[in-house]
Amino acid sequence: MTDTESADTDGFDADQWREELRSHRAEKDDFFAEHPQSPIPPEERDDFESLDYFGPDPDYRVTATVEVHDRPDPVEMDVSAGPPQRYLRVATLHFELGDEERELAAYRQQADEDGLFVPFRDKTTGQQTYEGGRYMEFETEGELEDGSEMVVDFNIAYSPFCAYSETFACPLPPEENWLEVEVLAGEQA
């Protein structure tokens, strides 16, 4: 899809998507600048203007096929500070990015919770993006179904709070979620 196309056959409206992404980023910047629970240390908030982001790019908005794990495997994720945290690998997301098939594991801390947590590293990690990797989270409606499709939008990838303050402890993406491609989308370092 080119930047000049505003909608495709799946009903994707690029102009609306860009506006929603801009709005989401502005809300996040306001939270970081003003909210008492901001990860930006209080003494640095007056100088904070905004986070750095890659420009919106619909090429990093991909459709993934969901492979559901009926018996989720426990995964111990290392943490930036403190003991490892236990997650369950509930699904694997299969998609094409950079003209190659890729996959990312999706996790939950408990099998019965909603949403998917997808931490990842890519070829920008430690250079243009936070050295500990980035996260994506996706809401799920009902149970995941094997073979269903979902949109994975790397433009919403964000750095964990530990990127901004050492007072936070953040899970680090396991090696199975290290992508051998640059993901020039989402938050930058």
The structural domains of the chain, with segments of one domain joined by +, span: 55-177
pLDDT at 60: 98
CA dihedral sign of residues 26, 135, 53, 43:
positive
Q: What is the pTM of this model?
A: 0.91
pLDDT at 125: 98
CA 115 to chain centre: 12
C-alpha to C-alpha distance for 95 and 81, rounded to whole angstroms: 32
| Distances 47 to 41, 43, 83 between C-alpha atoms, Å | 11, 9, 33
C-alpha to C-alpha distance for 174 and 171, rounded to whole angstroms: 9
pLDDT at 9: 44
CA dihedral sign of residues 110, 111, 117, 123:
positive
Question: What does the block give as tokens for 164?
Answer: 């901004």
Contact 152, 60 (CB under 8 A): no
CA 186 to chain centre: 8
One pLDDT digit (tens) per residue for the chain, 189 residues: 333 333 444 689 999 999 999 999 999 999 999 999 999 999 999 999 999 999 999 999 999 999 999 999 999 999 999 999 999 999 999 999 989 999 999 999 986 788 999 999 999 999 999 999 999 999 987 788 999 999 999 999 999 999 999 999 999 999 999 999 999 999 999
* Residue 52 C-beta-side C-alpha neighbours within 13 Å: 8
